[in-house]
Structure 1
């Protein structure tokens, strides 16, 4: 073995070491080791779900927020985003799974925030820009796209039954068992599946007959009904319990929560 060979080997080792250092440094820069008071103030101001928690549950909520933010990239597309934006994305993820401390999202790597609505081709210009959120598939697998204004509106309007962030993360929960069918098998015990489907089909018929206050988009399919009903369940739990007591009772069992 000549000197050139050893020079190449040593140079390769140094290059690999530099790459490892650069990746680790970038990760550490992005990583948030503690939950700051400024973040806590944002949650107290923006996230009603957090406001109603006990002190111990607030601490657990913050821990879950940190876990999410440290592992999932949140990117503003053609715009700068701030801590409030990131915390609202993370809250959207944490809320549906809060009754399941042992569960984590394994089917997402990045959330893209758009400055407005977009179309089926993920474009923010042109026609048919009526999409507020989307879970990616195919080449967009492990990605989620959210309209930033719609994300904020879901938390700021106290009378709204809609929350696009929760909507899309419920799709991810549904998708996690391998089949996107409106039955979140990772959450729902088997004895509740048939009663759930019966209630879903009954309510979809009411929506189609204009006899329900659930978002008409929920009548599109069992998949969309799950996400639409979940938005309502978490955003307006008292009203949902009043208007849909059977659904509310079953969803408290499904999510292990009584919001």
Structure 2
């Protein structure tokens, strides 16, 4: 009975017209909006409604969380889920947004965190980090995409870098390709074209690869076409074909010899392409 009522509420929500302010926010946030086909556009709007209306939003530490901030974050979620089923973020229950980078009280490192996702359904984000990522849309750094990729990952039950794929036949090539590039990132960090934060574990690799898939599709397609193909099969998208408004697809290069000062974000830029073949 509860599931039936939930579906009824969702169906009613999806029939509601998109508020004009939301339409404008979509146009401002996604320069490629008019390039989307009808199904992608419908999926984008449907996921946006679900994220805005059926998830709990909390401003942490006294941070005033207005609609424009919620819209900005939800649009990024709708962007990556626009071709996925409407229950893609079923495991997600709430967003907790800080007005600054935050720290975890039990973290021995004690460094500032830009975002984290919890298996019980909460995504925590630093709003300044979100703004930084959105200010450089071709940098490969987007903490919103990163943490929501974790939510998709745990849909399978674990943070293990393998979300719930669409078909049983998808798992073998996914495992083979992802393991190949994950191992390479660990073994040859000096040649990395993906952010080295992805070498932490398989879950972080999937999240970093998702950021690259949406923000650096040309680079990912050139350097790792099979990885791009697996991500495209999962997200049911081909972002490479959408014209990009960025002046450059090259992420900013940081010094790989410096000590990391922050967690929850990319710390290094790309190096030389990996040569595995």
TM-score, reference length from structure 1: 0.76
Contact 1:96 1:166 in 2 (8 A): yes
Q: Distance in 2 between matches of 1:112 and 1:163?
A: 17
Q: Which structure 2 residues correspond to residues 185-224 of structure 1 after superposition, within 5 A?
A: 185=164, 187-208=165-186, 209=188, 210-224=190-204
- Distance change >3 Å, CA 52–CA 87, structure 1 → 2: farther
Contact 1:49 1:95 in 2 (8 A): no
What's the C-alpha RMSD, in Å, of the aligned pairs? 2.6
SS in 2 for 1:176: helix
Q: Distance in 2 between matches of 1:91 and 1:256?
A: 18
The alpha-carbon deviation at position 146 of structure 1 amounts to 0.4
SS in 1 for 2:77: helix
Q: Distance in 2 between matches of 1:183 and 1:157?
A: 27
- Distance change >3 Å, CA 44–CA 218, structure 1 → 2: same
Count of residues in correspondence between the two structures: 223
The alpha-carbon deviation at position 252 of structure 1 amounts to 0.9
Is 1:165 the equivalent of 2:144?
yes
Q: Distance in 2 between matches of 1:223 and 1:206?
A: 15
Aligned partner (choices 48, 61, 72) of residue 55 of structure 2: 72
Aligned equivalent of 1:20: none
Aligned equivalent of 1:9: none
Aligned partner (choices 203, 215, 227) of residue 247 of structure 1: 227
Larger Rg: 1
Is 1:42 the equivalent of 2:21?
no
Q: Distance in 2 between matches of 1:95 and 1:122?
A: 33
Aligned equivalent of 1:99: 83
- Once the two structures are superposed, residues 196-227 of structure 1 have per-residue CA deviations (whole angstroms, 9 ceiling, x without a partner) of 22222322233231212101010111111111
Is 1:228 the equivalent of 2:208?
yes
SS in 2 for 1:74: strand
Aligned partner (choices 96, 111, 114) of residue 132 of structure 1: 114
Q: Distance in 2 between matches of 1:158 and 1:127?
A: 29
Aligned equivalent of 2:44: 61
Aligned equivalent of 1:146: 125
Higher percent of residues as helix: 1
Aligned partner (choices 51, 60, 68) of residue 84 of structure 1: 68
Aligned equivalent of 1:108: 92
